[in-house]
Amino acid sequence: MNERYVDRLSRTDRDVILTLVPEGVTVLDLGCGDCSLLAELAAKRKIRGTGVDIRGEQLVDGLAHGFNVYQGDLDEGLMDFPDNSYDYVILNQTLQVVKKPLRVLTEMLRIGRFGIVGFPNFAQWRLRSGLFFGGRAPKSPALPFEWYDTPNIRVLSIRDFFDYCRRQSLRVTQERYLVAGRWVTRAPIIVTNLLAHIGLFVITRK
């Protein structure tokens, strides 16, 4: 049940990403898995893309789609990719699973002009109340894992993300929030930080 809900979430965030990526740009997808997002972007937005993932097995499908793939660990950085070599670098549902998120974000905007970052909001009210009332590591439809088997080792909120961008002099050019099953474009942060399951942002250097 939870998994199906998450599947549906991830399908819809792909649709949102499609609307955030302009036609014909170059895209580097970090944590690309089987390159299915790139394939969709190539089909609908005519992008040219490269996929990076730590699991080489998965990258084979990307090769067959004609994408270039690179097996690598985001935590080790992406030194092999030159500065400003892509228009967009996507980090969707991956920020919360890396050991060195700051390094990954820095690398993203070194390599790409724009970054697209999507992550689950750990300050969503169900998680807050789960912790407050339940007294246990909280779960939600977007985060259905137990504390011991969660891949999500970085716990951040939408507010945390904005704080980070401000400190790093990054500009958030687009924002999308999944609130009660619908994607909304803009709302006061006090609302989004409480209600959004997922935040999706386009960021760039100032």
Binding site for other proteins (CB under 8 A): 26, 42, 48-50, 56-57, 59-72, 79-82, 85-86
**Shortest spacing between CB 121 and other proteins, in angstroms:** 32
* In the complex, least distance from residue 77 CB atom to other proteins, rounded to whole angstroms: 12
Q: How far is the CB of 35 from other proteins (least distance, A)?
A: 10
Q: State which residue, 24 or 134, has the beta carbon closest to other proteins.
A: 24
Nearer Cβ to other proteins, position 49 or 118? 49
User: Hey, what are 43's tokens?
Assistant: 């089909």
Nearer to other proteins by Cβ, of 2 and 71: the residue is 71
Query: Residue 191: how many CB atoms within 10 A of its CB?
Result: 14
The residue behind tokens 């789609």 is: 65
Comparing CA positions, the residue from 87, 105, 80, 113 lying closest to residue 156 is 105
Shortest reach from residue 70's CB to other proteins, in Å:
5
CB 71, min distance to other proteins, A: 5
Phi, psi for 59 (deg, rounded to 5):
-70, -15
Rank residues 95 and 111 by Cβ distance to other proteins and give the closer one.
111
Q: Is 50 or 93 the residue whose CB approaches other proteins more closely?
A: 50
- With b for 16 or more beta-carbon neighbours within 10 A and e for fewer, the 28-55 pattern comes to bbbbbbbbbbbbebbeebebbbbbbbee
Torsion, Cα 89 93 97 100, to 10 degrees, reads 30
